[in-house]
Amino acid sequence: MVSGTLCGINVHHPVFDATLLRRIKIKQAIGEERNKRDKNLNLIKESLLASDLTVTKRCCILSMDIDELQQALQTRKLKALEVLQAFQSKALETHERVNCIVQPILEAEELAKACDSSEKILGPLHGIPISLKENIPIKGHRVTCGVAKCLLNEVIEEDSLLVKMLKNLGAVPFVRTNVPQTLLSVACDNNIYGATGNPYDPKRSSGGSSGGEAALIGSNGSILGIGSDVGGSIRIPSHYCGTYGLKATSNRLTSSSTCSLFNGQSLVPTAIGPMGPSTKSLIVLMKALLSPRVIQMDSFIPSIPFQTQLLESKEKLRIGYYLTDPLVTASPASQRAVLVVKKFLEANGHTLVEFNPPRMQFAIYLAMKILMQSGKIYHNAILHENAVAPLKPLFYTEGKRIFLSFLIYLYDPLYSSMMYNIKGVKSSKEWYKMANAKKEYCREFQNAWQSQQLDAIICPSMASASAVKDQMFFTGVPSYTLFYNLLDYPAGVLPVTKVTKADSKEHANYKPKHLLEKFIKNLMNGATGLPIGIQCVAPPYKEELVLRLMIEIEEGLKKEHTD
């Protein structure tokens, strides 16, 4: 037992002893985990040095799109092992630059060899390497959600249902990717594995919470990935890293295959979805996961196979659009991206109409209240370690937000209301009230959608480009993405443009209406060249319509640039 005094505190107290010992154990576990990662990455490096993969073949494999790679593997023109080795080598290079891998999956080589030795094609994803977000359980690994105390948990003894599905389809899971502390952050930083950088500028963040995935994919280190999304966790990193991502309707894909520190609430549901370097990658993965052979593996998801007719339809659409939301004004670059796509779609024969979602600020505040639960979620999760820089403002204001909101009201009423609305829920009565409010709002939004006879919506995915890693909290709330988690509408993000010098010049005239927007204005200095995406949204269970819109925009804009 520890005894004596420390700064006037009696450290002979058993509670103090337990806390101190727990901190020591966690610190040791962090060191052991980092050493394990280094050791396993070195094993992959040694294996690659001993392989027969030539530089020419590696470059050839990495230059293929998903359709070309899928065909080459299924016609046996390429071996799964050499494809795996090509992406392993690129992933290792990427990791050294942006710190995106938490652990390589050593079983991958065995899975690739099984594909090569099989007399038949194992499935539509035969031999395709796939990266997985850290919170997807896989046998032999721990899931931490970026929280160090979870390193003291036992390793996972069985693959999650999602991983079983992927292996059943012939895929080769090969790396697990980084996440932010607690997952509830627009950055990607934790005390175990460190911060993940942006492939366009490693000093800036890849976004969160599927930030490791987006950084790896944005560097061509993975051709397929899977993330999860409860407030924008697929779409925000995709926006920041110039990649493609789709948040599905919450139970369209298997819903029990991710871990969270905040299980129990379903009013703002978690959804999983594909991530990739193109819309085609998302389509390949969605087709595979929505095939009858996979749907029958999970009795809790609706029996809705991939709807090819929605993807391939040539019918002209009526599409709503908006340039900003009432909470965080979109930057000039984010607004321009929507206008670029609007112009293209109109030229393609679609009808674009301005759409103002009803009571949007109310809906975003409602979603924020739900996610904050008791108002002390970060203190409950982050025990025996420090909050990382992007989470410190949220961590240290827990329990004080009502007081702080009143304190800053006269100076900044809008920021005061944001603070007040993440104070936390204090009773079951208040929780039921919020559940009813969500139900009523979803009906109100649906009526507004139907009154304008909309098929889909395009809008910003975030207010601005990425910021420097430790200042990510100040980029604002994820209002553009969180809104569609509350509604549980499928939403995809694709890159459209990059911040130009003209955008930066116009950003100097950006007029902040509250504190967060003042930070956004300052943080966007030096953002020229960073990617900017847009969001495509459709009604529940119409992911194929989102993908149709995304691929039309992607291929159309590429054609415009090459003509």
Architecture per CATH, 29-300: Alpha-Beta Complex (3.90)
Alpha-carbon span 84 to 54, nearest angstrom: 13
The first and second tokens of residue 528, run together, are: 């020229």
Are the C-beta atoms of 308 and 343 separated by less than 8 Å? Answer: no
- Identity of residue 353: V
8 marked among binding-site residues: no
> Which positions ≥6 away from 187 have C-beta within 8 Å?
180, 195, 205, 207, 208, 211, 388, 390, 391, 469, 472, 473
For 324-455, list the strands marked E by DSSP. Answer: 351-354
What residue has token string 């779409």?
235
In the beta sheet, which residues pair with residue 155?
A: none
160 marked among binding-site residues: no
Please state the three-class secondary structure of 68-80 as a single string: HHHHHHHCCCCCH
231 marked among binding-site residues: yes
209 a catalytic residue: yes
Architecture per CATH, 313-357+450-561: Alpha-Beta Complex (3.90)
The first and second tokens of residue 265, run together, are: 């609430």
427 a catalytic residue: no
What does each of the 563 residues of the chain score in pLDDT, given as a tens digit? 334 443 444 545 565 578 889 999 999 999 999 999 999 999 999 999 999 999 999 999 999 999 999 999 999 999 999 999 999 999 999 999 999 999 999 999 999 999 999 999 999 999 999 999 999 999 999 999 999 999 999 999 999 999 999 999 999 999 999 999 999 999 999 999 999 999 999 999 999 999 999 999 999 999 999 999 999 999 999 999 999 999 999 999 986 789 998 877 899 999 999 999 999 999 999 999 999 999 999 999 999 999 999 999 999 999 999 999 999 999 999 999 999 999 999 999 999 999 999 999 999 999 999 999 888 899 889 989 999 999 999 999 999 999 999 999 999 998 999 999 999 898 999 999 999 999 999 999 999 999 999 999 999 999 999 999 988 887 768 999 999 999 999 999 999 999 999 999 998 889 999 988 998 888 888 999 999 999 999 999 999 999 999 999 999 999 888 76
155 marked among binding-site residues: no
pLDDT tens for each residue of 351-378: 999 999 999 999 999 999 999 988 889 9
496 marked among binding-site residues: no
Are the C-beta atoms of 468 and 343 separated by less than 8 Å? Answer: no
Q: Determine which one of 89, 131, 185, 209 is catalytic.
A: 209
Are the C-beta atoms of 480 and 464 separated by less than 8 Å? Answer: no
Q: Determine which one of 90, 133, 167, 247 is catalytic.
A: 133
DSSP label at 532? E
Are the C-beta atoms of 74 and 121 separated by less than 8 Å? Answer: yes
pLDDT tens for each residue of 518-563: 988 888 889 999 999 999 999 999 999 999 999 999 999 998 887 6
The reply to whether domains 29-300 and 313-357+450-561 share a CATH topology is: yes
Q: Determine which one of 233, 281, 461, 479 is catalytic.
A: 233
6 marked among binding-site residues: no
Backbone region of residue 534 per phi and psi (left: phi > 0; alpha: psi in -120 to 50; beta: other values): beta
Task: Write down the pLDDT at residue 12.
Answer: 54
Residue 87 main-chain phi, psi, to 5 deg: -75, -30
Angle at 378 between CA 374 and CA 382, to 5 degrees: 135
What number of CA atoms fall less than 13 Å from residue 29's CA on the CB side? 21
Question: Within a 10 A sphere around the Cβ of 114, how many other Cβ atoms?
Answer: 16
Nearest to 548 by CA among 295, 338, 280, 236: 280
451 a catalytic residue: no
What number of CA atoms fall less than 13 Å from residue 212's CA on the CB side? 33
Give the start-to-end residue ranges of the domains of the chain: 29-300, 313-357+450-561
The first and second tokens of residue 511, run together, are: 């007029």
